[in-house]
Amino acid sequence: MQVIHALCPRERIFPLAQQFEELFRDQDALSVAASGLVYNQPVGFVVLTARESFDEEWLEHINTHPLISGYSLFSLMDDEVFGLFGCELVNS
């Protein structure tokens, strides 16, 4: 599984998350895992997941999206757990 954690202006995060949800509506391999606000910062975030990996076209889309000010890209094993806090990433 591959994950993108994207940042954008606080006032645009929920419309951006909805935009991605609509794009992913008919795709089983891509999803919006979460969205929210970054405390003490004027930004929000959206977390996108790919069952396998994001292709170069998607990465270019994220890299050039006018609302996204930065992003992190990382891979997780399907059974990987965020053990420090007892949180688990669950595929739905």
Residues 20-64: pLDDT tens digits? Answer: 999 999 888 999 999 999 999 999 999 999 999 999 998 999 999
For 22, the token pair is 């609509």
Per-domain residue ranges of the chain: 2-88
**3-class DSSP state for residue 57?**
helix
Judge contact between 73 and 4, C-beta under 8 A: yes
Judge contact between 20 and 34, C-beta under 8 A: no
Identify the residue whose tokens are 């008919």. Answer: 26
Query: Is the pTM for the entire model greater than 0.75?
Result: yes
- Look at the domain 2-88 and name its fold: Alpha-Beta Plaits (3.30.70)
